[in-house]
Amino acid sequence: MDYKNATGHIYDIQGYAVHDGPGIRTTVYTKGCPLSCLWCHSPESQRHEFEVGYLQIKCLGADVCQDACINACPVGALSRNEPVQALDGSGAIQKAKIDREKCTGCLKCAKACITKALYATGWDTTVDEVYDRVIKDRGFFQNDGGITISGGEAMAQFEFTLNLAKRLKDSGIHICLDTTGFTPEKQFEEILPFIDLFLYDIKHMDSAMHKNLTGVGNELILSNARFLAEHGGALQIRVPVIPKLTDKESNLRSTAEFCASLGDAVKLVQLLPYHKTGRMKYERLGWRYKLTNVEPPEEAFMLKTLEMFQNHGLNAQLY
């Protein structure tokens, strides 16, 4: 099959993934997303451009590296922070401090950081480079495992995602595409023959509320779900359950009804309860996390919601 060795921006490749589709999988995470969900647990995926992340616990102090990152910054965005006690009790150290208003994202500080406390949130790669990496995991896929192309929103880098899917399809590997559904219909039409299963998010059924929560309305997302269902696409619908935001019974019931309306195309519905595990990533990027007062939903509520989806004739499970 012909494909183009397109270049893409990715921020991670994870092997032995068990939550990104059926079986044991390797997941390729692309950068950039047209949505900005308030509960996003991977903020490093949102922007297409590479950013500087800062994991302060890895910083050994400016004296150790002789101000390497500070000297590398061409715009003076880094300086020494106030002294703190070293974890080993050896005395006070001064770690780096980033002025995010000055930072231009040139990444020179990350290249200079000897401990990788400062790091780039991704790298440039090609279809062939990704293929050579993920094909090494083929022995782990066994019966129903494979490769998942995720994001961010993988369709936001359509040329790269399409050609990676083509490259993988030639190898007989099961391919999942994790998508928000927010992309032109013609792109789904083009990539459909190369995707075995779409991991498809339905975040909220009310478009105005959807826009408040994610930055975009849901008309295109719902329309594309219908298109895929009508043209032979297999869907694994994923529904985030976020207290105070998406967990009203009316919304969840409407979501269940919509999923049921897609018929046999829906192979599974996964209910995703809100969790807090991504909060520290916001600190590493210098972002403010907006859901500080939100707690995970109670198990009894999730079980009740699961029962409601199952009562609509859906194969549903808790994530």
Q: What pLDDT was estimated at residue 233?
A: 98
pLDDT at 310: 98
- 178 and 303 in a single domain? The answer is yes
CATH number at residue 175: 3.20.20.70
> Is the same domain home to 100 and 244?
no
Of 201, 210, 165, 152, nearest to 181 (Cα)?
201
pLDDT computed for residue 87 by the predictor = 78
The 10s digit of each residue's pLDDT in 69-117 is 999 999 999 999 998 888 777 889 999 999 999 999 999 999 999 999 9
Last residue of a domain, one of 88, 120, 152: 120
Same domain flag for 232 and 296: yes
- Mean pLDDT across 213-221: 98
Q: Which of 3, 117, 123 shows the shortest CA–CA distance to 62?
A: 117
What's the pLDDT score for residue 90? 80
- 171 in any annotated domain: yes
Q: Looking at the chain, list the stretches that DSSP marks H as alpha helix, in order from N- to C-terminal side.
A: 62-65, 68-72, 108-112, 127-134, 138-141, 158-169, 185-191, 207-214, 219-230, 249-261, 279-285, 299-311
Is 1 among the domain residues?
no
DSSP state of 206: S
Residue at 162 is within a domain: yes
Is the pLDDT reported for residue 32 higher than 80? yes
94: domain range?
A: 52-120
| Same-domain pairing of 199 and 176 | yes
Report pLDDT for 277.
87
- Regarding whether 136 and 103 lie in a shared domain, the answer is no
Q: Is residue 12 part of a domain?
A: yes
Candidate from 4-13, 134-143, 170-179, 259-268 with smallest mean pLDDT: 134-143
**Chain segment 169-184, per-residue pLDDT in tens:** 989 999 999 999 999 9
Do the domain assignments include residue 2?
no
Q: Which of 84, 104, 120 is the last residue of a domain?
A: 120
Count of domains observed in the chain = 2
pLDDT of residue 144: 86
pLDDT at 208: 98
Q: Are residues 169 and 257 in the same domain?
A: yes
CATH of the domain at 99: 3.30.70.20
Does 70 map to a domain? yes
Burial class of residue 300 in the structure, from the number of CB atoms within 10 Å of its CB (0-12 exposed, 13-18 middle, 19+ buried): exposed
Question: Do 166 and 297 belong together in one domain?
Answer: yes
Summarize pLDDT for 257-315 with one digit per residue, the tens.
999 999 999 999 999 999 988 899 999 999 999 999 999 999 999 999 999 999 999 99
Structure tokens at 31: 């950068």
Same domain, 41 and 138: yes
Residues in CB range of 259: below 8 A, 6 or more apart: 202, 237, 266, 269, 309, 312, 314
- What letter represents residue 123's amino acid? W
Q: Is the pLDDT of residue 64 over 80?
A: yes
CA distance 21 to 25: 7
Q: Verify that 186 and 68 share a domain, yes or no.
A: no
- Indicate the DSSP class of residue 317: E
The answer to whether residue 239 is domain-embedded is: yes
Give the pLDDT of residue 88. 78
Q: Is 58 left (phi over 0), alpha (psi -120 to 50) or beta?
A: alpha
Q: Are the beta carbons of 150 and 20 closer than 8 angstroms?
A: yes
| Domain assignment of residue 175, yes or no | yes
193 and 127 belong to one structural domain: yes
Among residues 98, 120, 142, the one where a domain terminates is 120
Q: Are residues 109 and 228 in the same domain?
A: no
* 128 and 72 in a common domain: no
- Which residue from 35, 249, 242, 23 is spatially nearest to 152, judged by alpha carbons? 35
